Structure 1
């Protein structure tokens, strides 16, 4: 039996293409002392991966040409040299884009899948859900009755942000691309309004959705959308700066409305979840309770097969996914 991996073949110049990656085969890894051999079942694709394949300075070491792509997986232990984990256990690990991985037992997390699907630990119960909680609850600190806006609202992070805000008694405005995603955001997730950023009347429709301004902004997109949102912030408002995915594949946006931060005394905080690993278990417990109680919904976009991961990743960066983007490996 051979392992399969996806490696970075070349750095993208502008938009990422499937040709920037290569699929290779290698011998099945053998677990050493204190390690387990994992057969990966699910692979997570996330926007942060775009930064990892760039030469630009970032908050984490990038992927070099010829190296395996990074990413979180859910898998099953098929061999164990560690007392804490047994064959058959389901685990969460940063195993990267591959079918099998030998990893130290202390680098993986045992997960319980009796009440939730294993894939949920890569979305609502994983890094995206924990990111949503941290940015909204810890940074924005919304109060009942306030207006919360989140862009990329139908995605893995944004969908959780909006639902948590509703649970906290807020008026929630989502921004998403296309009528289908907007219908999902309002009808399924319970947002008060969703504004289609692809609409030719986006600026006018946004203004109508936030007549008294924005108290909390969870920013995922950056660029022209963020520029427009800055003009609607209220005095004393808060912004959790989570991502700027619209600027990954083009020159940085030249912002002209940053004066709003000054005149409205806006508190803006960027955050990276890898800085806060100690908070993950407690937040995951809170999210698990909400999911199992039916108070937190989630949607997944599933692509079959490791070989199709590059194409799915390109689609993710172009906003073609609906909900959490996953690769089903088996």
Structure 2
């Protein structure tokens, strides 16, 4: 049987177990030009929640459909000329054991690495950090780079890449334990617990020279504080708005943005990782070399079992993970 999690209903406020529905169906058979893929690893991301809120860079989720999600899988049957049984592929086929998909919707992975690295540091997560920081943020040696949600999947990668770029790196995270871990294990120069209150004052104390690049994963109060600390011609990388996803009523945006952008000559730019996929191959090779050399620590938080996917995503928004959270399905 093909086990699946369906998106059952739009949450009012935080997601809960009733957001999803478990079902079992027959394993699909691939048609001509398709392959049957068995899910090995399932990526859990803040974007999973954003898709429930309405149209973004993709259509909104509709109740009754298989819960969407990025995955790594193995081809078990092929009716396509470009893929064969045993190939490792990635794509968006959702929370299920098997999917029959056309070849064009899949990317064959050739990098020799553990699957947990292919679902995180060496794939969408790592590429988001890489392109967002280096292409959009354009850090220079000696810059101060501030990263919100720094203990999360993208944040852990951004901070480490910024250190390799010769920058001073400051992060925000929820809880002093996470902040201490960022400094001790990942080489951040400082970290601030945003849950402790007074985030603006705390960031000002650890960024006495201001902020040159702010990598924003959260929006909300940390974005407000970061804007006030930006140096002239600073760069703000808009990657996510996770503080406003799993809430009943999103907060209004910072009122000071237009004035600060003008007076400080700031550049505030959002991006989607697919914008840079024409540069994907060399970027992946560089990330893989950094991980192999130990210059980047691949931090992956694995939950075992497809049946645990809803609770694992709920836990992601409760801050239970460090680094990339993924589900090992098979």
Distance 1:87 1:57, change over 3 A: closer
CA distance in 2, matches of 1:275, 1:251: 27
CA distance in 2, matches of 1:30, 1:184: 47
Mapping for residues 16-35 of structure 1, pairs under 5 Å: 16-35=15-34
**Partner SS state of residue 159, structure 1:** helix
Mapping for residues 1-330 of structure 1, pairs under 5 Å: 2-54=1-53, 56-112=54-110, 114=112, 116-248=113-245, 249=247, 250-258=249-257, 259-330=259-330
CA distance in 2, matches of 1:164, 1:225: 21
**Partner SS state of residue 195, structure 2:** coil
CA distance in 2, matches of 1:86, 1:78: 8
CA distance in 1, matches of 2:157, 2:24: 37
CA distance in 2, matches of 1:323, 1:152: 10
8 Å contact kept, 1:247–1:253 = no
How many residues matched?
A: 327
Task: Tell me how far 1:264 sits from its aligned partner.
Answer: 0.7
8 Å contact kept, 1:74–1:119 = no
CA distance in 1, matches of 2:55, 2:90: 28
CA distance in 2, matches of 1:100, 1:230: 45
**Partner SS state of residue 153, structure 2:** coil
Runs of 4+ with deviation above 6 angstroms: none
**Partner SS state of residue 230, structure 1:** helix
Task: Tell me how far 1:254 sits from its aligned partner.
Answer: 4.2
Distance 1:73 1:175, change over 3 A: same
Deviations 1:145-178 (Å, cap 9, x if unpaired)? 0100001111111111111111111111111111
8 Å contact kept, 1:224–1:253 = no
Normalised TM-score (structure 2): 0.94
Task: Tell me how far 1:89 sits from its aligned partner.
Answer: 2.1
Unaligned runs of 5+ in 1: none
Deviations 1:244-294 (Å, cap 9, x if unpaired)? 110112323342332222211110001122343323233222212211222
**Partner SS state of residue 227, structure 1:** helix
CA distance in 1, matches of 2:183, 2:235: 23
8 Å contact kept, 2:73–2:89 = yes
**Partner SS state of residue 198, structure 1:** helix
Normalised TM-score (structure 1): 0.94
**Partner SS state of residue 84, structure 1:** coil
CA distance in 1, matches of 2:69, 2:55: 19
Task: Tell me how far 1:231 sits from its aligned partner.
Answer: 0.7
Deviations 1:52-107 (Å, cap 9, x if unpaired)? 112x3422101111011111111112112233322222222222111111122232
**Partner SS state of residue 301, structure 1:** strand
Moved more, 142-151 or 266-275: 266-275
CA distance in 1, matches of 2:38, 2:250: 39
**Partner SS state of residue 145, structure 1:** coil
Unaligned runs of 5+ in 2: none
Moved more, 62-71 or 252-261: 252-261
CA distance in 2, matches of 1:52, 1:254: 20
Task: Tell me how far 1:202 sits from its aligned partner.
Answer: 3.1
CA distance in 2, matches of 1:34, 1:296: 39
CA distance in 1, matches of 2:2, 2:317: 27
